[in-house]
Every structure is written in C-alpha cells, then in structure tokens.
Chain A
Amino acid sequence: EAGVAQSPRYKIIEKRQSVAFWCNPISGHATLYWYQQILGQGPKLLIQFQNNGVVDDSQLPKDRFSAERLKGVDSTLKIQPAKLEDSAVYLCASTPGPGVYGYTFGSGTRLTVV
C-alpha cells in the first residue's frame, strides 16, 4: 500500500512570499489532516478534512493560511504571505474514516522562511 505522499520535501522562501504544499493521502482515506511541527515542539493540528469538507480549522491562521481538498482526494496548503515564524515541518496525515483506526503520516515538507 502506498503511503501518504507530500511534496516538496524542502522549501526555502523569503518572508512575505507565498508557498504551497501538496498532499496525496492513502487511496480511500476519508479524513485528511495538516499538522505544523515547529522545531522542538510536537505537531499541532492546523486543519482536518472529512472528504472535501472542513471538520476543524480552529487553529489555522486564516489571515495567511488556506487549505483545500478538492474532490475529497489530494489537498494543498498555502501560506501567503509567509512570516519567519512559519518555519516548520508541515505534516500531512490521513485515516480511513469511521470505524477504522489508522493514522498514516507523510514525511513532511520542511519550510524555511528567511
């Protein structure tokens, strides 16, 4: 079974620029999560999708972050404009959906804002 795919693996941008990350979950997984992991901290949930609907985006800085999951499959996370404090690893995870356990995490995208 293929894992959760994320791209790019690394990205360096200047502050105030925009950036986008892509995630392709495991086929058939209904729920998709984006987490932000700042160096030295545990991952923090940014947004949770169930199919193509948003379940939880309470910790997403909506003035600069946006995310979408068209057709309930892959997803993109965008930051515009980026700030220095956005430097982090952005992890995507997916789960099958109701009644079945199984979080699977991608390898993440490491963002450096300079």
Chain B
Amino acid sequence: AQSVTQLGSHVSVSEGALVLLRCNYSSSVPPYLFWYVQYPNQGLQLLLKYTTGATLVKGINGFEAEFKKSETSFHLTKPSAHMSDAAEYFCAVSVSLANAGGTSYGKLTFGQGTILTVHP
C-alpha cells in the first residue's frame, strides 16, 4: 500500500520569498512521485514528476523537487514566489505495474493538499 502526507494544510509566503511545500510518502516498492497544482474550479495540472534517474526534478513555472529516498520525502520548492502561484498543491505517489504490454503506471494516491497563499 502507498500513502502520502503533506505537512501543513496552509502555507503563506510573501511575493519573492522561497516557497517550500513538504511531502513525505510511504511505499513498499520504489515509487513514482508527482506534484500537481489546482487552481479554483479547475482540474489538476502536473507540475513535475520523478520516475527514475536524477533525483532533482525541474518542473514548470520554476518549481523543482528532490527525491530523497533515505528521508522518504519529495518536497517542492521555488526560489521566488509570484502572486500567480497562489493555488492548492497536491503531492501524489504511484507505483509501476508490470503487465503483458509493458510497465504501466498504477493509480495515483494523493495527499491532503496544501493551499499556498502569496502576499504582496
């Protein structure tokens, strides 16, 4: 079974400040990890993902995250917050599934979400 814990349901930063959103996961097999952003009344948009290889992953809009296996963490950061970053952010975990057609991605298990507020 897999699970995700996001530390902090609300994070508030000033424009231009560092953004740090925390995510810890639990998985019995090597995980695939994701960060999604959701703006009000919209669907989920992928920010970045880690599957294999380099543990520092860069995504869209200047965000990046580092997979730390020893800490079971996948924290999301951005050096300088913009007003447009205000949204809800979800960390998610998936695992690979081997089947006749090759390796596929299993269901996503999401954390509870972190609402990011950016002050002028």
Q: With contacts A42-B90, A42-B110, A44-B110 known, is A91 near B104, CB below 8 A? A: no
Tier of interface size on chain B: 20 to 34
Residues of B within 8 A of A40 (CB): 9, 112-113
> Is residue B77 within 8 Å, beta carbon to beta carbon, of the partner chain?
no
Interface of B is mostly: strand
Q: Which residues of B contact A106 (CB under 8 A)?
A: 43
* Contacting residues, chain A, for B36 (C-beta < 8 A): 105
List the count of A-B residue pairs having beta carbons below 8 Å apart: 61
- Docked complex Cα distance between A109 and B63 (Å): 28
**Does B112 lie within 8 Å of A108, measured CB to CB?**
no
By a CB distance below 8 angstroms, the chain A residues around B101 are: 97-99
Q: Which of B11-19, B44-52, B66-74, B78-86 sits within the interface?
A: B44-52
- In the assembled complex, the Cα of A107 lies from the Cα of B109 at a distance in Å of 18
21 CB < 8 A contacts A-B: A4-B43, A31-B104, A40-B9, A41-B112, A42-B90, A42-B111, A42-B112, A43-B44, A44-B110, A45-B109, A48-B107, A56-B107, A91-B44, A95-B105, A98-B99, A98-B103, A99-B101, A99-B102, A103-B105, A103-B108, A107-B43
**Chain B residues at the A interface, C-beta cutoff of 8 Å:** 4, 9, 34, 36, 41-46, 49, 51, 90, 92, 99-105, 107-113
Given known contacts A42-B113, A98-B102, A108-B43, what 4 new A-B pairs fall within 8 Å (CB)?
A33-B108, A40-B113, A48-B107, A105-B45
